[in-house]
Amino acid sequence: MTALVTLRNVTKSYVRGKQKVEVLHGVDLTIETGEFLALMGPSGSGKTTLLNLVAGLDQPTSGEVLVAGDRIDRLSRGSLSDWRARHIGFIFQFYNLLPVLTAEANVEVPLLLTNLSKAERRRRVQVALELVGLAERARHKPNELSGGQQQRVAIARAIVSDPTLLVCDEPTGDLDRQNAEEIMNLLQALNRSQNKTIVMVTHDPKAAEYASRELHLDKGLLTNDTRRAA
Partner 1 sequence: MKMFRQIGAVTAMNFRSLPQRVSTSLVVVIGIAGVVAVLVSVLAMSTGLIRTMESTGRDDRAIVMRNGSIAETSSALDRNSAKLIVDGAGIKRDENGEPILSAETFRILSLRKQADDAEVSAILRGVGPKILAVRPELKIIEGRMFQPAVAEVIVGKSAHAQFKGLNVGDVVRSRGANWTVVGVFDTGGDAHESSLMTDAETLISIDQRGSFQSVTALLESPAAFQAFKDSLSANPALAIDVVRERDYYQQQSKTMANIISIIAYVVGGIMAVGAVFAALNTMYSAVSARLQEIATLRALGFGSTAMVMSVLAEALILALIGGVIGALLAWGFFNGNTVSTLGGAGGLGQVVFELSVSPQLMILGVVWACVIGVLGGLFPALRAARLPVAVALRAV
Q: Which of 100, 119, 229, 230 binds partner 1 (CB under 8 A)?
A: 100
The closest of 100, 70, 109 to 87, measured between CA atoms, is 70
Size of the site for Mg ion (CB under 5 A): 1
Q: DSSP letters along 160-199, please?
A: TT--SEEEEESTTTTS-HHHHHHHHHHHHHHHHHS--EEE
CB of 135 to ligand ATP, least distance (A): 33
User: 43 is in the binding site of which of Mg ion, ligand ATP, partner 1, none (Cβ under 5 to 8 A by kind)?
Assistant: ligand ATP
Question: How far apart are alpha carbons 174 and 126 in whole angstroms?
Answer: 26
Give the chain's radius of gyration (CA, Å).
Answer: 17
User: 3 is in the binding site of which of ligand ATP, partner 1, Mg ion, none (Cβ under 5 to 8 A by kind)?
Assistant: none
Question: Where do runs of H (alpha helix) occur along 37-168?
Answer: 47-54, 77-87, 103-108, 118-131, 147-159
The window from 33-41, 93-101, 118-126, 215-223 that contacts partner 1 (CB under 8 A) reads: 93-101
The residues binding partner 1 (CB under 8 A) are: 48, 52, 55, 57-58, 77-78, 81-86, 88, 90, 92, 94, 96, 98-101, 109-110, 112-113, 115, 157
